[in-house]
Structure formats: C-alpha cells, structure tokens
Amino acid sequence: MSQALQLDVAVVGGGASGTYSAWRLQQALGNSQRIALFEYGDRIGGRLFSIRLPGLEHVVAEVGGMRYMPSADKDTSGHVLVDKLIQHLDLPSKDFPMGNELPKGDPIGAKDNLFYLRGERFRFRDFVEAPDKIPYNLAWSERGYNPEDLQVKVMNLIYPGFGDLSLAEQMQVKVFGKEIWRYGFWDLLYRVLSNEGYQFMKDAGGYEANVANASAVTQLPATEYSDDTEFRTLKDGFQRLPLALAETFQQLPGILRAEQRVQMNQRLVALEYSNDQEYPYCLHFQQTRTVDGTTRDVDGSHSVVQARQVILAMPRRSLELIESPLFDDKWLKANLGSVLMQSAFKLFLAYEQPWWRALGLVAGRSVTDLPVRQVYYMGTEGEQDGGAPTRNSLLMASYNDIGTVPFWKGLEDGKPFQGYQPASLAGRVSASEIVPPSQFQVSEEMVAIAQRQVTQVHDQVELPAPYSAVYHAWDADPYGGGWHEWKANYRLDLIIQRMRHPVADQAVYIVGEAYSYGQGWVEGALTVAESTLQEFFKLDRPEWLPQQYQLLPVPGPAEAEDEA
C-alpha cells in the first residue's frame, strides 16, 4: 500500500474560494509548504460554469454566476476584490449591459425592456411614466415605483437610513418591538406593504429570493439588482477566473509536482482526527468519474491524504455530506444550518438571428410571472471581438429560482432536444454535436414550452426555432442550491466571523459564498477566503488590493445567547 500523500494544507473544493485560497497560499508559502487542491468532479469552477454552444464561441452561456460590479480606482463600492483580482491576473473583461439606452454609447439602461405580468404587457419605463398600466391593485403609496425603488421606499418606511448603517449598527436596530435580525423579510414586508404590493415585488423583481423570508438585515437593503447598475463579466466566460487561478497555482514554484497540486474527481467522504501530531487530519477521498457532466463514485477506489491544516471551500450542502467529528462541535452544529439553500435554473437557446432586435430589445432582461421568469438578451456572435461573421445569437430563455424551478425539473426526462445544423456550421459541426451533452439534458418538451412562454412575453405570433440549447439546475448534490441566504433569528455578523474557523482547537477552516456578507456573489466567496488567509495563515494583504477595502463587516457586540 502506497504511503498517503502528506500536505501542509489541503484545500477541498475547486470553485472560486478554493482556487483562490490555493493560489494565494502557493504564492506566499509555496517554496516551503506542500499545498494541494481537491475537486469532486472533472471541472474547475464550482458554480461558475461557462458553456459555449456551437456557432457562439464568443457569446458564452453562463449557467452559473455571470457578472460582477466593477469599482472605481479610489472607491470601495462594488466588487472590489473580484475587480482588482481580474485586473491583477490580466483577464480580459467586458461590459455586461442591462438594456438599450445609449447615454455613453453603450447599452446600460433598461427603460424599454418588457414586463409581462398577469397577462398585461408593458415597458420598464411605465412603472413611473404610466403606472395605470401596472396590473396590480396597489395602494396609492405603492404606485409609481419599479420593484427596486419600492424596496428602497419600504426600507425607509421601516427604518429611515437603514442602508447607510454598518452591519454592526443594523444588528442593533429594533422595529415593531424586536431586533430586525429576528425577522424574515417576507414577514416584515407584510407589516408595511399590501398583499398586492408584496406580489408585485415578487413578480416584477424577477427573483423570488429577493423577497424570500430570509434575514431582513441582508434582504432589506439589497438593491444591487437595479436595472441601472453597471456590471462587467469576462470575455472568455466567468469560469475563466477560477480556471486561471488553478492554472497559475499549478505553475508557481513549489515542492509538489503540478499534477499533485490539483487532483480532480476526488470526493471528500470523511475528515478524521489523527493521533499523528505532525499531520493531525486524515482526509478520505472517494474517486469519482464524470461522464457527460454527471459525476458518480468509482466503486472500491479511494485514497487517504494526511494534512496539517484543512480549508473546506464548500457550500453548506457539500459540508453536510462529509463525515467528521468536526461537525459534532456544539456551535458548528447549531449554526451550519443558519443559511437557506436557494435553488436556481437557467435555460439558454441559440438562434440564427437576434429576432428580439426588431422589438427594440438589445440587452438586459425582460421579466414575467410565467415560469420562464427572466429572459436575457445575451449577444450576437458577429458583433463580438474575434467573432465569426454570423448573426448566431444567444438568449437566456429562462432564469428563475425557488418556486418556479420545479416546473422545469418536471420536464427534464423526455426525448432529448436535437436542434438542427444551421448553414453557418455546415461541414464544421456534426449533427450530434449541435446540442452539447450535459448533466441536465435539455428535452424537446422543455424547449417547446420555453419557446411558447417567450413568444407570449414578446407578443409574437411565432418565433424562429432555436438550433441549440443548454440548461442547468443548481439543486442537486453536492451544491444544494445556486446561492445561499441568511435565515432569520441568526446573528449573521457573528457567524460570518467565526464560521471561518468554527472549532477553536482545530486547524480546519470554512470559506466560500455560503457564510458570507456577499451571498450569491463571487465577491462574498473571495472576501471570506482572503480574510481567512490573512487572519489565520498570517498572509500579508495583496499589494493589488486597496488598503481601505474592508473584507468583512465588523460585528456588533455579542450576547451570551449568541455565543452559545
């Protein structure tokens, strides 16, 4: 039996926070430390997953995270760590436009994009300019607002200036007789909005997660989805960020060989404490195999790794699947479930022309209460830098979360969608390659129903047939959801700090988006990872990260019951 691999640091999870942690550690400690990264499947990226459909090499289908908010040079707003990291790695980026206004020569507004709610069709501008078109029996005080502006109004009704407070100050705020962190957002909305007002925010906002009964502290000021917010993405797909981190990690000088540093298709089954004082942790890995996007165990094949320190760069569900005495800790057991796992779904359709342009739609999204929920106009191949001279175009035909995901899950099993070979791909792509294989194989019925709903949203008699498609649902193991949200009744400000090193006498650390202040964003994952590396691994702050940027919010004063 071969000797177990011995490591100074084992990083488990090949998503954004895991690849970032391994890269930073290798940079700082690589000449003296043995560091390795382990990934469950055959793909680096986690919930960043960029897919290229045939004929659309430069218009990427982002079935996971797709954008970030840039920051100014001397500003600490936006996604500073992500933005500066992308610049530091010299990864080409581009605008992620949200509409078709041209104040700067680029489409960044959304005033003309469509809404189709309760069978009525109108434009974004009508929320303010023609409120009588909005098919909701809103109270007079709720009329004339788009869903994001109404959320700001609600915030100021409940506690004026709440969004200007620090998290520590927000945790001390009391409304209706108790601390605001003890409220779910839905519960709080019902106290200040009519039922029609709540349904309007839920339907027109596009995301059920925005008005879910998650912690009111993080939900109340969450207006980053406003349609005039500026976003950027990577030209080669957002997954390129963790891929670049993993590649650079392997290439840096160090003790381990490159092939030892990144080990794919390894599922962490158990994390045991060892009597070996030099290597106190034994990590038991089950070998897996990934075929057409689906990862399964390989029977009878496992390995053991010994480590001095362990970083678990994993979402809540992945942590729950590990057998370990670590999770017997009283505090960790009580707080591992402090976040909700929110399911999400995306379906992309490829067409030979951007038919939506005839309706004055260029970019951004249209929103409906039909199960497709959000429709994004993603781009045309011939308009991209380096793109082939075709009009092949990509539509995110459905982007939805929570309540509407089961609608599409019920359409998964059926005759696979075959698509067709467009003239621009004749002789270049075989018929069998038009629709790429994936973990969640798109069905003919799924495409047909999506087409029907997109037709309704756009008030069309008939749409051209899509030639290719791909979809992905984020609810299966090992992810459990597309993103997380804090539950009500948890002191999230304290948990954010402690979850990074949950058991004081163990050198095991938890990083990632799940237990962050920036849930649902890569920024949340990276700020937790970077703060962990600085505080517990004593790494210096990167020279490319502004000194004034605060990685984690300062927590409020702890009470005895919060520490229990």
**Secondary-structure breakdown of the chain: helix, strand, coil percentages, each rounded to the nearest 5:** 30, 25, 45
Q: What is the mean pLDDT of the segment spanning 30-57?
A: 95
Distance CA 157, CA 141 (A): 11
Q: What is the pLDDT of residues 275-291, one digit of tens each?
A: 999 999 999 999 999 99
The token duo for 290 is 């990934």
Rounded mean pLDDT of the chain? 92
Pairing between β-strand 374-380 and β-strand 393-401 as defined by DSSP bridges: antiparallel
Per-range mean pLDDT, top range of 137-151, 210-224, 392-406: 392-406
Helix (H, G, I), strand (E, B) or coil at 287: strand
pLDDT band at residue 97, thresholds of 50, 70 and 90?
confident
Structure tokens at 405: 């995901």
The pTM is what? 0.95
Looking at residue 157, what is its pLDDT?
A: 85
Q: What is the pLDDT of residues 432-478, one digit of tens each?
A: 899 998 889 899 999 999 999 999 999 998 999 999 999 999 999 99
Cβ–Cβ contacts within 10 Å for residue 499, how many? 24
CB 327: neighbour CB atoms within 10 A?
15
**DSSP annotation string for 146-166:** -HHHHHHHHHHHHSTTGGGS-
Q: How far is residue 310's CA from residue 306's CA, in Å, rounded to a whole number?
A: 10
Determine which helix (DSSP H) or strand (DSSP E) holds 201, and give its type and residue range: helix 195-205
Residue 103 has pLDDT above 60, yes or no: no
User: According to the model, what pLDDT value does residue 236 have?
Assistant: 95
Question: What six digits make up the tokens of 315?
Answer: 């979402």
Strand partners, 341: 484
pLDDT digits (tens, 9 = 90+) for 310-335: 999 999 999 999 999 999 999 999 99
- What band does 564 get if pLDDT is binned at 50, 70 and 90? very low
What pLDDT score does 72 carry?
Answer: 75
Residue-wise pLDDT tens digits, 228-253: 678 999 999 999 999 999 999 999 99
Q: Is residue 563's pLDDT more than 60?
A: no
Q: What is the DSSP letter of 345?
A: E
Residue 125 has pLDDT above 70, yes or no: yes
Read off the pLDDT band of 107 (50, 70, 90): low
CB distance 411 to 446 below 8 Å: yes
**Sequential DSSP letters for 389-400:** SS--EEEEEEEE
Read off the pLDDT of each residue in 36-42 and give the average, rounded to a whole number: 97
Chain mean position to CA 132: 35
